[in-house]
C-alpha cells in the first residue's frame, strides 16, 4: 500500500500542480489534459506514437536501473544515446546498401551497444579504480558526447547529397521490421523485453545480487569479497551499453539517420521516473508508458493550445519535486 | 585544592542505560571551583556517556545533576551552555568552512539576525590573549591544524562557562600543544572554573589533576588523590585477575603468520604466528591499528610481506579466496560492514558465497534452497527472528552478531579473526559468544581475538599481545600476572 502510494502520490501531485501552472498562464487544464489523453492514448495514431516513443525511454530506464542498483549514477545517458545514434547512422546505411538489412540491423544493434559502453568506459574506469565521482564525470562526458556527435555529423559522416547537415539515411523499408503492418517497429517489444530482462537479472541472479550489495553498502561488498572495482566498472559499462542501445533502436526503428543538433534529451527525464519507481522494473515500465503518453499528447496540445512544447519537462520537474514528499513521509514514520 | 563547601557541579546517583548495556550506574561525582578533576577509564567504561549528559546531549535515566546547589535539567546543548557548562567532544565539531571566530558564534543568536562577525573576531582575540593562545581569528577552521582546532574548541567551550568538560583533549595535541592546554587550564581554574578532564591515560590523569575518579564498566571503581600509588589506580581501571576459561596453553604449532606489513598505521613490521587450537588475543585501546591489522589479514586492505595459512602463502589472494581457504573475519562493524540491513537474513547469510551452488544454479537464485539454509541456520544458532526473509535491519544487535558468527563459522574454518565480537551486547549473549569462540578453538581452529576488554582476553586467550600506535607489543603468556603487564602496556 505504502509503495503504491509512493508512486501514485507524486504522479497525482505533479499532474495537479501542472494544472495550476496551466491555469496561471491562462490555459484551461481540463482542455489540455483532454487533448493529451485524446492524442496520446485514445486515437490509434496516438497510441502508436506513444508506443514508439516509449522504446528509447524503456531502454534508458533499463540503463539507469543497472547503475542505480549498484549505487552508481550514470547521468551520461544522453551522450551515450547520441553517440550510439551517430555511430549507427554512420555504419548502417552504407552497410545496408551493400549487404542488405539482415546484416545491417544486427550489426547496428551491436554498434549501438558498443558505442554506448565505449562512451561510459572512461567515467567507469575513473570511478572504479581512481574513485572519481561518476556523477560529475558522466554528466561532463554527456555534454562532450553531444558535441562530438554533432562534430562527427558535420565533419565525418555528413551525407554529401543534402544541404542540411545530416548523416545518410537508412531506407524506410530496411529499418527494424514493423509489427502487424502498422508503424510500431520491433524495437518496442525489444525494449520492453530488455527492461524485463534487466529487472529479472537484478532481482534473481548472482550478478544482480552483487550489484545490489554494492549499491546497498560498498563496505559490506568489500567485506563479502566482491571485487568492487570490477563490479563498478561492469555496471557502468552495461548501463552505457543500454543507453547506447536506446539511441540505436531510435535510429534503426524511427529516424534512419541523425540530423545535426538533434538531441531529444530523454536521459534526464527518465532519471526521475526510475527514482520514483524505486528501481522496480514493472513500475518503471508503467511510468514510462504514462510519460510517453504525456509527452506525445503534450506535443499535440502544444499546437492546439499554444503551450510550449517543453511543458512536459515542467511535469517531470514537478514530479521530481513531489518525489521528495513520500521520502519525507517515510522518514517521519520511522 | 580550593574545595569550597558547595561544588560547582554535582552528579548524584546518575545512571544511563542503553539497550543491553548499563553505560553509567549510579555515578556520584562533585566538581569544585578551581580544580581539575580527571575521569579515568578504559574504552567503553562510560566516560563519553557521562560527558554527553553534562553537555545536554543525553538525559540521565536516573539520578540528578546539581549546579551551584540546585538540581537542573540539562535537556539540550543550549541548556547546558546556559548553565555555564562548556563541553569539548573527542572529535572536532567545528565547521571547517567558517573562520575560527565565526565558530564561536555557533549556537548563539536567534532568528534571522545577522551574526556580528567583527564582534566575534574581537571576542576571539580577547580569549586568545586571556589564555595565551596564538590563533588568527580570521582563519578558516578547516585550515587549522588538528591541535589548533582542538584549542579553538576549548576556547569556544571556555567562553562564558564556569565548568569545562574535556574528552581526551590531548589526543590531537602535540607536546607543545599539550603544554598550552595545561596553561589554559591553570588560568581557567585560577579564575574559579572547574575542569573535568576525561582520559584513558593514567600518567596524564595524575599529571593534570589533583583528584582522579576511575570508571570501570559504568561504575565508579575508585577515587584517588595525588599521593596514591599508581598500581592501585591501575587495578581499579582494569580489575583484579580473573579465572581463565581455557585450559593450559597448547604447544605452539604455527599455522598462520602475518609479517612485514608496512601500511600507514603499522610503524614496524608485525610478526605473529598462531597455532591450531590456540587463541591469541590483541588488547589495546580502540584505534591503535587493530582493525587495520584484521583487514590486512582478511584481504580487505593492501599489505606487504607474507601471510601463511596452513603452510601456504595467501598474501596474494583476495577476500573470497582467503574465505574459501578457511580464513574467516568477524568484523567489529556488524551492521555497517558485516551485513546489509536492507537485505533479508537468507541473503545476508550467503553474502560471502554469492553464486555458489546450491543457492544459485547457472547464476540464477534458488529461493527454496536459500530459505531452507536460512531456516536451518536460524534454528541452529538461536537467532530470534520471524523468518528467513526478515530484513536484518530489524534484528537486535545480538541477533545480528549471531547471524554474522553463523556465517563465518559455517563450513571448515581454519583461522578466525574476531574483532570485538561481544562489543555492545548484553551479558548473556556475550557469554554465549565467548563459549562459541572457546569451543571453536577446542576443535582445532586458530583464533585471533581483538578486544578492548582485558577481562575477555584473560578469560579466553593463551597469549596476549598489546597493540599501541600500530605496534604489536608482547606477547604475554596468560598465566596469572598478565593483567598488570597488559594494562601497563595499554595505558602507556
The B-side interface with A (CB below 8 A) comprises 298-300, 318-321, 323, 329, 331, 333, 336-343, 347, 351-352, 354-355, 360, 363-365
Cell of A152: 562527427
Range of the domain at A281: 2-333
Helices (H), chain A: 2-24, 29-37, 44-69, 77-99, 101-130, 134-151, 187-204, 206-216, 218-223, 228-250, 266-276, 281-305, 311-333
pLDDT for res B107: 67
- SS3 assignment, position A31: helix
SS3 B360: strand
The whole-angstrom separation of Cα B94 and Cα B172 is: 14
**Interchain CB contact of A213 with B (< 8 Å):** yes
Residue numbers in A near B352 (CB within 8 A): 224-225
Tell me: pLDDT of A330 over 80: no
Put simply, the answer to whether B318 touches A225 (Cβ < 8 Å) is yes
Quote the DSSP letter at residue B115.
P
**pLDDT at residue B178 above 50?**
yes
CA distances from B17 to A160, A215, B58, B167 (A): 81, 35, 11, 20
Domain harbouring A36, CATH code: 1.10.3470
In 3-state terms, what secondary structure has residue B424?
coil
Rounded-to-integer distance, Cα B55 and Cα B49, Å: 10
Q: Once rounded to an integer, what is the mean pLDDT over residues A145-164?
A: 90
pLDDT at B20: 64
Architecture of domain B9-238 in CATH?
3-Layer(aba) Sandwich (3.40)
In a 13 Å sphere around the CA of B402, the CA atoms on its Cβ side amount to 25
Residue A217 Cα, gap to closest chain B Cα (Å): 7
- Per-residue b or e along B281-301, where b marks 16 or more CB atoms closer than 10 Å to that residue's CB: bbbbbeebbbbbbbbbbbbbb
Nearest CA in chain B to A200: B364
C-alpha grid cell for residue B306? 607474507
Give the chain A residue nearest B408 (alpha carbons).
Answer: A224
As to burial, measured by CB atoms within 10 angstroms (0-12 exposed, 13-18 middle, 19+ buried), residue B98 is middle
Reported confidence tier of residue B218, pLDDT bands at 50, 70, 90: confident
Q: Which of B339, B342, B352 sits opposite A225 (nearest CB)?
A: B352
CA distance B347 to chain A (A): 9
Q: Are A223 and B300 in contact (CB < 8 Å)?
A: yes
Angstroms from B336 CA to nearest CA on chain A: 7
SS3 B145: coil
Which chain A residues are Cβ-neighbours of B351 within 8 angstroms? 213, 220, 223-224
Residues 6+ apart with CB under 8 A from B425: B20, B397, B398, B401, B433
Q: How far is B431 from chain A (nearest CA, A)?
A: 26
* pLDDT interval class at A2 (50, 70, 90): low
How many CA atoms lie less than 13 Å away from B75 in the CB half-sphere?
Answer: 4
- Helices and strands (DSSP H and E) totals, chain B: 16, 22
Closest residue in chain A to residue B338, using alpha carbons only? A220
Partners of residue B392 in chain A, C-beta under 8 Å: none
Instruction: Please give the Cα distance from A297 to A56 (Å, whole number).
Output: 17
User: Which residues of chain A neighbour B333 with C-beta distances below 8 Å?
Assistant: 219
Strand partners, B256: B274, B309
- pTM over the 0.90 mark: no
Chain mean pLDDT for chain B:
83
Q: What is the mean pLDDT of residues B417-434?
A: 86
Instruction: Identify the closest residue of chain A to B339 by CA–CA distance.
Output: A220
A216, A223, A226 ranked by CB distance to B342: nearest: A216
Span(s) in chain B for CATH 3.40.50.300: 9-238, 254-491
Count how many Cα atoms sit within 13 Å of the Cα of residue B267 in the half-sphere of its side chain: 8
Helix (H) or strand (E) holding B62: strand B62-67
Whether A125 has a pLDDT exceeding 90, the answer reads yes
**Would you call A30 an interface residue with chain B, using a CB distance cutoff of 8 Å?**
no
**Cβ neighbours of B300 in A, within 8 Å:** 222-223
Residue A185 three-state SS: strand
Indicate the number of domains in chain A.
Answer: 1
Distance CA B415, CA B278 (A): 10
Helix A101-130 / helix A228-250 crossing angle, nearest 10 deg = 150
User: Grid coordinates in use for A143?
Assistant: 555534454
pLDDT in tens, B274-306: 888 889 999 987 777 888 899 999 999 888 778
Nearest-CA distance A218 → chain B (Å): 8
- What is the model's pLDDT at position B241? 47
User: Other CB atoms closer than 10 Å to residue B411's CB: what's the count?
Assistant: 13
End-to-end distance of chain B based on CA atoms, in angstroms?
Answer: 27
Q: Which of A205, A225, A227 sits opposite B365 (nearest CB)?
A: A205
**Is residue B23 within a helix (H) or strand (E), and if so which, with residue range?**
strand B21-31
Contacts of A222 in chain B (CB under 8 A): 300, 319, 337
Q: Is the per-residue pLDDT at B252 higher than 60?
A: no
Cβ distance A225 to B340 less than 8 Å, yes or no, reads no
The helix or strand, by DSSP H or E, that contains position B214, with its residue range, turns out to be strand B211-216
Q: B51-77: per-residue pLDDT in tens? A: 989 998 889 999 999 988 888 888 888
Cell numbers at B22, concatenated: 548499563
**Contact assessment for residue B398 and residue B426, using Cβ atoms and an 8 Å cutoff:** yes
Whether the bond into B249 is cis, omega within 30 of 0:
no
CA distances from A6 to A11, A322, B97 (A): 9, 10, 37
Tell me which chain B residues have a C-beta less than 8 angstroms from the C-beta of A227: 318
Whether omega before B126 lies within 30 degrees of 0, making that bond cis, reads: no
Determine the Cα–Cα distance for residues B91 and B168; give it in Å rounded to an integer: 9
Distance CA A235, CA A221 (A): 14
Q: For residue B322, what is the DSSP state?
A: H
Could you identify the residue written with the cell 591499528? B289
- Chain A residues in contact with B298 by the CB 8 A cut-off are 223
Homologous superfamily of B254-491: P-loop containing nucleotide triphosphate hydrolases (3.40.50.300)
User: What SS3 state is found at B239?
Assistant: coil
Q: How confident is the model at residue A327, as a pLDDT?
A: 67
Of B438 and B179, the one with more pLDDT: B438
Asked if the C-beta of A224 comes within 8 angstroms of chain B's C-beta atoms, the answer is yes
Amino acid at each position: 500500500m505504502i509503495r503504491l502510494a509512493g508512486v501514485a502520490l507524486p504522479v497525482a501531485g505533479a499532474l495537479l500542480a501542472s494544472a495550476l501552472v496551466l491555469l496561471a498562464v491562462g490555459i484551461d487544464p481540463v482542455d489540455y489534459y483532454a487533448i493529451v489523453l485524446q492524442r496520446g492514448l485514445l486515437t490509434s495514431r496516438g497510441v502508436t506514437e506513444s508506443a514508439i516513443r516509449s522504446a528509447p525511454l524503456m531502454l534508458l530506464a533499463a540503463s539507469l536501473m543497472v547503475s542505480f542498483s549498484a549505487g552508481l549514477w550514470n547521468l551520461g545517458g544522453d551522450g551515450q544515446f547520441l553517440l550510439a545514434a551517430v555511430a549507427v547512422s554512420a555504419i548502417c546505411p552504407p552497410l545496408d546498401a551493400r549487404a542488405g538489412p539482415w546484416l545491417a540491423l544486427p550489426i547496428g544493434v551491436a554498434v549501438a551497444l558498443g558505442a554506448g559502453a565505449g562512451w561510459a568506459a572512461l567515467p567507469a574506469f575513473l570511478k572504479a579504480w581512481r574513485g572519481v565521482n561518476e556523477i560529475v564525470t558522466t554528466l561532463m562526458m554527456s555534454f562532450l558526447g553531444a558535441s562530438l556527435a554533432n562534430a562527427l555529423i558535420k565533419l565525418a559522416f555528413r551525407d554529401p547529397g543534402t544541404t542540411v547537415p545530416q548523416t545518410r539515411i537508412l531506407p524506410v523499408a530496411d529499418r527494424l521490421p514493423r509489427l502487424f503492418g502498422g508503424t510500431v517497429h520491433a524495437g518496442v517489444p525489444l525494449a520492453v523485453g530488455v527492461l524485463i530482462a534487466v529487472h529479472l537479472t537484478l532481482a534473481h541472479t548472482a550478478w544482480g545480487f552483487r550489484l545490489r550489495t554494492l549499491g546497498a553498502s560498498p563496505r559490506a561488498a568489500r567485506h563479502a569479497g566482491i571485487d568492487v572495482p570490477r563490479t563498478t566498472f561492469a555496471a557502468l559499462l552495461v548501463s552505457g551499453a543500454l543507453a547506447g542501445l536506446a539511441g540505436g533502436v531510435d535510429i534503426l526503428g524511427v529516424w534512419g539517420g541523425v540530423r545535426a543538433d538533434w538531441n531529444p534529451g530523454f536521459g534526464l527525464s527518465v532519471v526521475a521516473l526510475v527514482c520514483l519507481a524505486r528501481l522496480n522494473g514493472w513500475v518503471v515500465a508503467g511510468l514510462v508508458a504514462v510519460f510517453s503518453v504525456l509527452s506525445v499528447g503534450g506535443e499535440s496540445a502544444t499546437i492546439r493550445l499554444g503551450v510550449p512544447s517543453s511543458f512536459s519537462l515542467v511535469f517531470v520537474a514537478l514530479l521530481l519535486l513531489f518525489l521528495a514528499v513520500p521520502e519525507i513521509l517515510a522518514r517521519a514514520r520511522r | 585544592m580550593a574545595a569550597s563547601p558547595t561544588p560547582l557541579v554535582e552528579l548524584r546517583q546518575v545512571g544511563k542505560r542503553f539497550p543491553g548495556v548499563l553505560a553509567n550506574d549510579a555515578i556520584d561525582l562533585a566538581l569544585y571551583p578551581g580544580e581539575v578533576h580527571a575521569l579515568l577509564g578504559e574504552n567503553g567504561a562510560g566516560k563519553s556517556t557521562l560527558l554527553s549528559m553534562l553537555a545536554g546531549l543525553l538525559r540521565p535515566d536516573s539520578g540528578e545533576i546539581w549546579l551551584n546547589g540546585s538540581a537542573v535539567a540539562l535537556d539540550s546543548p543550549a541548556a547546558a551552555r546556559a548553565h555555564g557548562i562548556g563541553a569539548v567532544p573527542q572529535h572536532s565539531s567545528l565547521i571547517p568552512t567558517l573562520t575560527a571566530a565565526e565558530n564561536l558564534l555557533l549556537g548563539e543568536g536567534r532568528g534571522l539576525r545577522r551574526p556580528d562577525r567583527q564582534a566575534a573576531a574581537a571576542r576571539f582575540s580577547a580569549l586568545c590573549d586571556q589564555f595565551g593562545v596564538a590563533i588568527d581569528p580570521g582563519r578558516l577552521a578547516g585550515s587549522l591544524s588538528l591541535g589548533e582546532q582542538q584549542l579553538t574548541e576549548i576556547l569556544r567551550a571556555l567562553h562564558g562557562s564556569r565548568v569545562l568538560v574535556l574528552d581526551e583533549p590531548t589526543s590531537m595535541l602535540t607536546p607543545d600543544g599539550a603544554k598550552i592546554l595545561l596553561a589554559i587550564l591553570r588560568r581557567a581554574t585560577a579564575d574559579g572554573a572547574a575542569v573535568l578532564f576525561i582520559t584513558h591515560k593514567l600518567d596524564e590523569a595524575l599529571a593534570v589533576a589533583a583528584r582522579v575518579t576511575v570508571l570501570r564498566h559504568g561504575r565508579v571503581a575508585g577515587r584517588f588523590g595525588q599521593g596514591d600509588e599508581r598500581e592501585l589506580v591501575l587495578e581499579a581501571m582494569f580489575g583484579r585477575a580473573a579465572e581463565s576459561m581455557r585450559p593450559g596453553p597448547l604447544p605452539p604449532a604455527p599455522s598462520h603468520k602475518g609479517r612485514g606489513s608496512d601500511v600507514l598505521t603499522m610503524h614496524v613490521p608485525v610478526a605473529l604466528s598462531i597455532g591450531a587450537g590456540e587463541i591469541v588475543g590483541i588488547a589495546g585501546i580502540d584505534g591503535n591499528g587493530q582493525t587495520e591489522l584484521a583487514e590486512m589479514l582478511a584481504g580487505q586492505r593492501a599489505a606487504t610481506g607474507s601471510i601463511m595459512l596452513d603452510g601456504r602463502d595467501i598474501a596474494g589472494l583476495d577476500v573470497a579466496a582467503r574465505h574459501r581457504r578457511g580464513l574467516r573475519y568477524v568484523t567489529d562493524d556488524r551492521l555497517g560492514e558485516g551485513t546489509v540491513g536492507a537485505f533479508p537474513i537468507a541473503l545476508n547469510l550467503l553474502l560471502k558465497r554469492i553464486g555458489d551452488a546450491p543457492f544459485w544454479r547457472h547464476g540464477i537464485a534458488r529461493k527454496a534452497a536459500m530459505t531452507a539454509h536460512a531456516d536451518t541456520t536460524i534454528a541452529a544458532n538461536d537467532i530470534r527472528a520471524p523468518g528467513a526473509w526478515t530484513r536484518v535491519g530489524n534484528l537486535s544487535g545480538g541477533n545480528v552478531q549471531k547471524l554474522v558468527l553463523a556465517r563465518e563459522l559455517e563450513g571448515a574454518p581454519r583461522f578466525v579473526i574476531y574483532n570485538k565480537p561481544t562489543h555492545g551486547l548484553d551479558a548473556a549473549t556475550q557469554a554465549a559468544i565467548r563459549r562459541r569462540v572457546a569451543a571453536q578453538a577446542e576443535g582445532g581452529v586458530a583464533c585471533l581475538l581483538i578486544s578492548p576488554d582485558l577481562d575477555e582476553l584473560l578469560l579466553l586467550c593463551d597469549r596476549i599481545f598489546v597493540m599501541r600506535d600500530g605496534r604489536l607489543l608482547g606477547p604475554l603468556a596468560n598465566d596469572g600476572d598478565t593483567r598488570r603487564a597488559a594494562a601497563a602496556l595499554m595505558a602507556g
